[in-house]
């Protein structure tokens, strides 16, 4: 596994470069919005990756509550941290795209608001993990993560349930998209997914290592106490 990581990292970087080329060069310029529409490839791909990582956090949190496995808890923490990064990208690229298209940086559109709520829930999750010294912190964090995941379907289906500033999907439901745009989109979607999972894997390995160091330190302290008696 240690040998596989650098190989996958190099492959992911190359794929990200190819995805960038597809988004900025190969994909045609959108007729109405112009070049600013190219944010779409990064905005939506980041949203998908964030959702995937939050779902991993959701599953890991459930498994942790059932088994109390430290490695599973490490995966929950790693996926939440990386997920928050990608969700932040969504919240940053959205207003950059919205300003020239909608004429405003932000509106309390239902999807925007629910995405912000999702981000705040997971930021609260990370703050709880960082600053709480209780022995039950992982348990409380897992419960909060499960609660936060309930917001994800609302974010996705909000454009169907409510009148929102966001347009209806261009893929399906009678919408259409240039095949070159569609190709660039899926390439970026896969590239961002690979990148997000790779970063999550790296963060997971660091968290497991941190847990092992803490266990060794605790064991050494226990041995020192016993030897002093």
Highest average pLDDT, of 112-121, 124-133, 158-167, 184-193, comes from: 184-193
User: What percentage of the chain carries pLDDT values higher than 90?
Assistant: 49
Cβ contact 184:27 at 8 Å? yes
CA dihedral 89, 90, 96, 100 (to 10 degrees): 160
Distance CA(152)–CA(146), nearest Å, equals: 11
Instruction: Kindly report which listed range (36-40, 67-71, 103-107, 115-119) carries the lowest average pLDDT score.
Output: 103-107
pLDDT score of 78: 95
Write down how long the chain is. Answer: 229
pLDDT digits (tens, 9 = 90+) for 6-15: 888 899 999 9
Beta strands in the chain (DSSP E): none
Cβ contact 197:8 at 8 Å? no
pTM of the model: 0.88
Task: Kindly give, in sequence order, each residue whose CB lies less than 8 Å from that of residue 87, ignoring residues fewer than 6 positions away.
Answer: 46, 47, 50, 54, 115, 118, 119, 122
In Å, how far are 13, 59, 144, 206 from 69, measured between CA atoms?
32, 13, 18, 16
Cβ contact 40:97 at 8 Å? yes
In the predicted structure, residue 175 carries a pLDDT above the cut 70: no
| DSSP conformation class of 26 | I
Work out the pLDDT band at 76, boundaries 50, 70, 90: very high
Distance CA(182)–CA(180), nearest Å, equals: 5
Angle between the 70-102 and 137-149 helix axes, to the nearest 10 degrees? 40
Highest average pLDDT, of 45-59, 167-181, 212-226, comes from: 45-59
User: What percentage of the chain carries pLDDT values higher than 70?
Assistant: 87
Task: Decide which of 154 and 119 is more confident.
Answer: 119
In the predicted structure, residue 174 carries a pLDDT above the cut 50: no
Instruction: Kindly report which listed range (34-48, 49-63, 73-87) carries the lowest average pLDDT score.
Output: 34-48
Tokens of 90: 């969504």
Instruction: Kindly report which listed range (42-46, 85-89, 167-171, 182-186) carries the lowest average pLDDT score.
Output: 167-171
């Amino acid at each position: 596994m240690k040998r596989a990581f650098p190989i996958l990292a190099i492959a992911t970087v190359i794929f990200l470069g190819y995805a960038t080329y597809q988004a900025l060069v190969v994909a045609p310029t959108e007729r109405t919005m112009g070049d600013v529409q190219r944010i779409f490839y990064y905005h939506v791909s980041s949203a998908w990756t964030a959702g995937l990582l939050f779902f991993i956090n959701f599953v890991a949190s459930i498994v942790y509550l059932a088994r109390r496995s430290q490695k599973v808890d490490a995966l929950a923490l790693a996926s939440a941290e990386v997920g928050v990064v990608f969700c932040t990208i969504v919240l940053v690229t959205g207003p950059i795209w919205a300003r020239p298209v909608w004429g405003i940086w932000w509106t309390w559109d239902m999807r925007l608001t629910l995405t912000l709520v999702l981000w705040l829930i997971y930021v609260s999750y990370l703050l709880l993990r960082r600053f709480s010294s209780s022995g039950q912190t992982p348990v409380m964090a897992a419960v909060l993560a499960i609660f936060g995941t309930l917001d994800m379907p609302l974010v996705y289906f909000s454009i169907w349930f409510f009148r929102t500033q966001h347009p209806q999907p261009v893929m399906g439901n009678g919408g259409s998209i240039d095949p070159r745009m569609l190709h660039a989109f899926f390439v970026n979607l896969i590239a961002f997914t690979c990148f997000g999972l790779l970063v999550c894997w790296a963060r997971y390995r660091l968290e497991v290592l941190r847990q092992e160091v803490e266990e060794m330190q605790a064991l050494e302290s226990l041995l020192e106490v016993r030897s002093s008696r």
